[in-house]
């Protein structure tokens, strides 16, 4: 019989790609989402196929899954600033109550659970690049704290279950990831820039654009997650992201070069509160533990993403 995996946040950007990968690998996939930010269109191609079931459910409530369950991937959470600033309490609840329910289910089923954490646990980092051993520089009462602290609590609770109950856990700290199925209104820099360029609107750069980010294509991230869950028993956080760093201003110029028909210009707005100045993963551990590193060059990933967003805008 195929192994059964439950994926929370399954209708979201990363969650839906995980559903694809595990279904293609022969798993029986249970996809769970309350659709507060997810979109069923991301899963439409899987509906009606064998070994795929969608469950509409809020994981801050008790989760009932009959039968065997071998793996849980906990990816439910608002993840973009636009979402968690709009839903701060829900973000904290899914990080705390939702994580508690998922860990309890994993314990009851004897399942291995992989939990999605984030580079945001490092806050506005004083260490660069960021290693897993860095404890972070987070403002717990700032507007971004609802997301940062929800994920830090998720990690702490997962480790408590591991140490107290011997639960088999994995923790992935995800750095900026992009690709098809991101929402145009996501609020993050990549869909913002691409959407603005395709609509001939000014590209909005915050501050002077000198702050840096690193962007990992979604297929590379999914590969790293797959290896972390199935090829190791390592219970501590692992960074997954692309260490190739670019300034936001240079990134805006890259997007405009890849949309040559765009008449967009670049405009500058004040920097949001607690916006990180630098963000770049140290992936030494992922290389050593998983034999993993990103394979898709940024230019190629951006071309695929622009083609996806171009189609979405045309349909709209």
Tell me, what's the pLDDT at 316?
A: 64
Tell me, what's the pLDDT at 271?
A: 86
Supply angle C-alpha 33, 237, 83, rounded to 5. 35
Tell me, what's the pLDDT at 272?
A: 81
Tell me, what's the pLDDT at 315?
A: 74
CA neighbours closer than 13 Å in the CB half-sphere of residue 204: 13
Measured CA to CA, the distance from residue 216 to residue 242 in angstroms comes to 5
H helical segments located in 63-128: 81-86, 88-93, 99-109
Supply angle C-alpha 279, 22, 105, rounded to 5. 85
Measured CA to CA, the distance from residue 246 to residue 210 in angstroms comes to 9
Supply angle C-alpha 290, 169, 39, rounded to 5. 85
Mutual orientation of helices 189-198 and 248-258 as an angle, nearest 10°? 40
Tell me, what's the pLDDT at 277?
A: 87
User: Where are the domain boundaries for CATH 3.90.25.10 in the chain?
Assistant: 189-213+244-280+297-315
Tell me, what's the pLDDT at 247?
A: 96
- Structure-token pair, residue 307: 């083609």
H helical segments located in the chain: 13-24, 81-86, 88-93, 99-109, 145-165, 189-198, 218-231, 248-258, 284-290, 298-315
Beta carbons of 299 and 258 less than 8 angstroms apart: yes
189-213+244-280+297-315: CATH superfamily: UDP-galactose 4-epimerase, domain 1 (3.90.25.10)
CB contact burial 68-90 (16+ within 10 A = b; e otherwise): ebebbbbbbbbbbbbbbbebbeb
User: Where are the domain boundaries for CATH 3.40.50.720 in the chain?
Assistant: 4-178+216-240
Tell me, what's the pLDDT at 28?
A: 98
Beta carbons of 22 and 49 less than 8 angstroms apart: no
Mutual orientation of helices 13-24 and 218-231 as an angle, nearest 10°? 60
4-178+216-240: CATH superfamily: NAD(P)-binding Rossmann-like Domain (3.40.50.720)
Report the relative pairing of strands 245-247 and 212-214 from DSSP bridges: antiparallel
147 flagged as catalytic: yes
Average pLDDT per block of 10 residues along the chain, 316 residues long: 95 98 98 97 98 98 96 96 94 98 98 98 94 96 95 98 98 97 92 96 95 96 98 98 97 97 96 84 98 97 97 83
Tell me, what's the pLDDT at 275?
A: 78
Select which of 84, 147, 161, 178 is catalytic.
147
Beta carbons of 167 and 114 less than 8 angstroms apart: no
- Structure-token pair, residue 19: 């559903």
| Stated pTM of the model | 0.96
Name the β-bridge partners of 169.
Answer: 113
Tell me, what's the pLDDT at 273?
A: 78
């Amino acid at each position: 019989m195929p192994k059964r995996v439950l994926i929370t946040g399954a209708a979201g950007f990363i969650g839906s790609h995980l559903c694809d990968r595990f279904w293609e690998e022969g798993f029986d996939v249970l996809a769970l989402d309350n659709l507060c930010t997810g979109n069923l269109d991301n899963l439409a191609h899987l509906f009606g196929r064998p070994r795929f079931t969608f469950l509409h459910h809020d994981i801050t409530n008790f989760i009932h899954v009959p039968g065997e369950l071998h793996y849980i991937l906990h990816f439910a959470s608002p993840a973009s600033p636009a979402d968690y600033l709009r839903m701060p309490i829900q973000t904290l609840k899914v990080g705390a109550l939702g994580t508690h329910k998922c860990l309890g289910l994993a314990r009851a089923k004897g399942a291995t659970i992989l939990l999605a954490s984030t580079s945001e646990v490092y806050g506005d980092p004083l260490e660069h690049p960021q290693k897993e051993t860095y404890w972070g520089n987070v403002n717990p009462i700032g507007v971004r704290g609802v997301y940062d602290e929800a994920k830090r609590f998720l990690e702490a609770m997962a480790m408590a279950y591991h140490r107290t109950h011997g639960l088999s856990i994995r923790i992935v700290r995800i750095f900026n990831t992009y690709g098809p199925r991101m929402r145009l209104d996501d609020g993050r820099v990549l869909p913002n820039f691409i959407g603005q360029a395709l609509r001939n609107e000014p590209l909005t750069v915050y501050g002077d654009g000198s702050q840096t980010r690193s962007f990992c294509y979604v297929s590379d991230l999914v590969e790293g997650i797959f290896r972390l869950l199935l090829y190791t028993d390592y219970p501590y956080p692992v960074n997954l992201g692309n260490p190739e760093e670019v300034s936001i201003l240079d990134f805006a110029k890259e997007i405009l070069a890849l949309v040559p028909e765009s008449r967009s210009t670049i405009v500058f707005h004040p920097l949001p509160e607690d916006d990180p100045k630098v963000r770049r993963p140290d992936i030494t551990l992922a290389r050593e533990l998983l034999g993993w590193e990103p394979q898709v060059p940024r230019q190629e990933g951006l071309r695929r993403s622009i083609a996806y967003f171009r189609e979405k805008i045309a349909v709209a």
